[in-house]
Amino acid sequence: MKILLLLVICIQFALIVIGRHHRDSDFLSHVQLVHQFQCLSPQPRAISVEDLLTVGLGSDEVFYPAFTVLTRCVGSGCCPDSNQICAPIETRNVSLVFMVRHRIDQQRDRHHEVIHALEHVKCACMNKIYEDLQVSEEKGLKKQ
């Protein structure tokens, strides 16, 4: 009986050690994955035309396409500190041409609008306070 009890204790101990080793291995794999996904390069994101306008759409206006694709830093990489975000350190202005048609007065000619937007070129980890400044800067985009 003592031998059986000793055997059960040894097996439980072995399972605990193996379980810890397995969790340690999974943890290290997870950390390695995070380190490989660094905040460096922005990734393409779908951006609504409404998010690009400083003045909202007129009730009669329909922009086509309704979305565009711009590179963004948010969510494109990991930062080592929880008080940091992946934010742009280099940007460029781009001009995007949209077609505008009118819902109500369909006799009005369709025309093109140029919207200037800010595209992220390079990213780095920045303190979260920087995020508020960046968002307000991106909202300052203009329609011509």
Span 24-66, pLDDT tens digits: 788 888 888 888 889 999 999 999 998 988 776 667 789 999 9
Q: Measure the CA–CA gap between 74 and 4, rounded to whole angstroms.
A: 58
The token pair that represents 99 in the structure block: 């077609």
The token pair that represents 137 in the structure block: 């800067």
Average pLDDT score, the chain: 81
Q: Judge whether 121 and 92 are in contact, CB under 8 Å.
A: yes
Q: CA of 1: how far to CAs of 9, 10, 15, in Å?
A: 12, 14, 21
DSSP structural state of residue 60: T
Q: CA of 92: how far to CAs of 37, 43, 138, in Å?
A: 23, 14, 11
The model scores a pTM over 0.85: no
